[in-house]
Amino acid sequence: MGQRALPGFRDFYPAEFADRAHLFATFRRIARRFGFVEYDGPPLEPLELYTQKSGEEIVGQLYNFTDKGGREVALRPEMTPTVARLVGARAAALPKPVRWFSIPQLFRYERQQKGRLREHFQLNVDIFGESDSLADAELLAVACEIMRAFDLGPDDVRARVSDRRLLNALLSHLGITDAQAPAVYAVLDKLERQPQEISREKLALAGCSPEQAAAVLAFGTLDFDAAVVAYGQSPTVQPHLERFAQYRAHLDALGVLEYVHFDLSIVRGLAYYTGIVFELFDAKGEFRAICGGGRYDTLLSSLGGSDLPALGFGMGDVVLGELLRARGKLASTLARPDFWLVPDDGADVPAVLRAARALRRHEFSVVHALDADRLWNRKPRTQMQDAQRQGARAGLRVLPGGVAEVILFDRSDGDAASRRVDLAALLAGDAAASVPVVAQLRDLLAADAAPSS
């Protein structure tokens, strides 16, 4: 006893579980609205799946070990290599584009900090087999519509979007070589958090001239229209600006452009991104990224599967939960039993159990005392108090002859309303005659006006 969960791991008591279930239900609802179907993969994978493709940062955070069969394995730190493997293995047979989502629990040995744990759940939404920017727009629209479903509007959340192809074209237009590019990426990635002077020094160290460094530093505040004015004449940059403009037009028609901010400092740490990349942040900048993703067109072929273009995002439950809680927008409720059953004069314990069985067969959630002696002997009034303490929505007294008295606990008018309902048809298993009785019970619960806390 007295043991606690490992640092960075959470216990989900029912109240926390209810929050998690609320997030997942919203994830599923919106993903399905866009035609995505759910899948899963193994939580434990061969180590090399990540050492080859995920990039240094994640590899340094792996929970890995040698299993009893001598295999090098790792708990999944992200879902993308797994889904790339799954799709790659059946690429020829799957109708394209493939639209899949999943909500895996992921494990990263992170330094403990706000918004970062050592396990988290992450909604993954991915599209395979489509290289057009309409697919990129659709993907970001899913993420933005999820924000909207949580009542987080464009004033609450920003989608910061860049394009690696455009960025590469800009760098080569400035005369920065492929060999210098990784160092420039690293500077861009830290632009917000690092003093300008340090960024400038790092760019100089990477061999950038003062003019090149000034142009790169200006990327941090360059909006899309200014980028068109500054670089639209360059024949190598122009096609990428054109594609990005098309992408923005799609986002506009999809109704999410208000969320979107062009931002060349969004680089993404993971090694496999090749095109449009994005991250979602709270607008006040108080929290870490809510979501990150982008296009990764070469990952499948590099894993030895087929050559399918791909794009997707991951949205974690931790930062989103923190943000919703901070804004008072986490509206989850604990599931409550519909009825708490109590016997009355003349009804015995089996009569209560038969009523419970009949009600459950019609999908009502039904509970009663589990000590038969208490169920039988304790005053109905005291049992009704137990029922309220345990959060039941209504008490149901089982009277002789299959009649029940329903007592609604949540009446906001203070009237602890009670109604008589004849359960005989339910008890007899008469399906047709049960329909109006079930409807009557449902109406009673629905009329139960008080909001639950």
The span from the CA of 265 to the CA of 262, in Å, is: 9
Q: Which of 18, 28, 39, 110 lies at the binding interface for ligand HAM (CB under 6 A)?
A: 110
Of 289 and 387, which has the nearer Cβ to ligand HAM? 289
- Least separation in angstroms between residue 257's CB and ligand HAM is 21
Of 272 and 339, which has the nearer Cβ to ligand HAM? 272
Write a three-state SS string for the chain.
Answer: CCCCCCCCCCCCCHHHHHHHHHHHHHHHHHHHHCCCEECCCCCEEECHHHHHHCCHHHHCCCCEEECCCCCEEEECCCCHHHHHHHHHHCCCCCCCCEEEEECCEEECCCCCECCECCEEEEEEEEEECCCCHHHHHHHHHHHHHHHHHCCCCCCCEEEEEEEHHHHHHHHHHCCCCCCCHHHHHHHHHHCCCCCHHHHHHHHHHCCCCHHHHHHHHHHHHCCHHHHHHHHCCCCCCHHHHHHHHHHHHHHHHCCCHHHEEECCCCCCCCCCCCCEEEEEEECCCCCCCCEEEEECCCHHHHCCCCCCCEEEEEEEHHHHHHHHHHCCCCCCCCCCCCEEEEECCCCCHHHHHHHHHHHHHCCCCEEECCCHHHHHHCCHHHHHHHHHHCCCCEEEEECHHHEEEEEECCCCCCCCCEEEEECHHHHHCCHHHHHHHHHHHHHHHHCCCCCCC
**Binding segment for ligand HAM among 38-46, 121-129, 371-379, 410-418 (CB under 6 A)?**
121-129
- Contact between 319 and ligand HAM per CB under 6 A: yes
Q: Which of 30, 86, 117, 366 lies at the binding interface for ligand HAM (CB under 6 A)?
A: 117
Q: Which of 97, 316, 343, 395 lies at the binding interface for ligand HAM (CB under 6 A)?
A: 316
- Least separation in angstroms between residue 119's CB and ligand HAM is 8
Burial class of residue 76, CB neighbours in 10 A (0-12, 13-18, 19+)? buried
- Least separation in angstroms between residue 222's CB and ligand HAM is 23
Give me the 50-89 binding string for ligand HAM, x by CB under 6 A, dash otherwise: ----------------------------xxx---------
- Least separation in angstroms between residue 311's CB and ligand HAM is 7
- Contact between 318 and ligand HAM per CB under 6 A: yes
- Least separation in angstroms between residue 69's CB and ligand HAM is 28
C-alpha distances in Å from residue 23, one per residue of 8, 122, 199, 321, 429:
20, 11, 38, 8, 38
- Contact between 354 and ligand HAM per CB under 6 A: no
- Least separation in angstroms between residue 106's CB and ligand HAM is 7
Site for ligand HAM in 269-288 (CB under 6 A): 270
Max CA pair span of the chain = 94
- Least separation in angstroms between residue 77's CB and ligand HAM is 8
Q: Which of 128, 313, 340, 364 lies at the binding interface for ligand HAM (CB under 6 A)?
A: 313
**Binding segment for ligand HAM among 15-23, 110-118, 129-137, 403-411 (CB under 6 A)?**
110-118
Q: Of 220, 304, 315, which is closest to residue 27 (Cα–Cα)?
A: 315
Of 314 and 343, which has the nearer Cβ to ligand HAM? 314
**Binding segment for ligand HAM among 252-260, 307-315, 358-366, 441-449 (CB under 6 A)?**
307-315
Of 301 and 388, which has the nearer Cβ to ligand HAM? 301
- Contact between 289 and ligand HAM per CB under 6 A: yes
Q: Which of 53, 76, 120, 240 lies at the binding interface for ligand HAM (CB under 6 A)?
A: 120
Residue whose Cβ sits closest to ligand HAM: 316
Q: Which of 267, 290, 308, 369 lies at the binding interface for ligand HAM (CB under 6 A)?
A: 290
The amino acid sitting at 313 is F
The amino acid sitting at 374 is R
- Contact between 369 and ligand HAM per CB under 6 A: no
Q: How many residues bind ligand HAM (CB under 6 A)?
A: 23
- Least separation in angstroms between residue 136's CB and ligand HAM is 12
Give the tokens for residue 375.
């169920």
Q: Which of 10, 22, 116, 411 lies at the binding interface for ligand HAM (CB under 6 A)?
A: 116
- Contact between 314 and ligand HAM per CB under 6 A: yes
Binding site for ligand HAM (CB under 6 A): 78-80, 108, 110, 116-117, 120, 122, 124, 126, 270, 289-293, 312-314, 316, 318-319
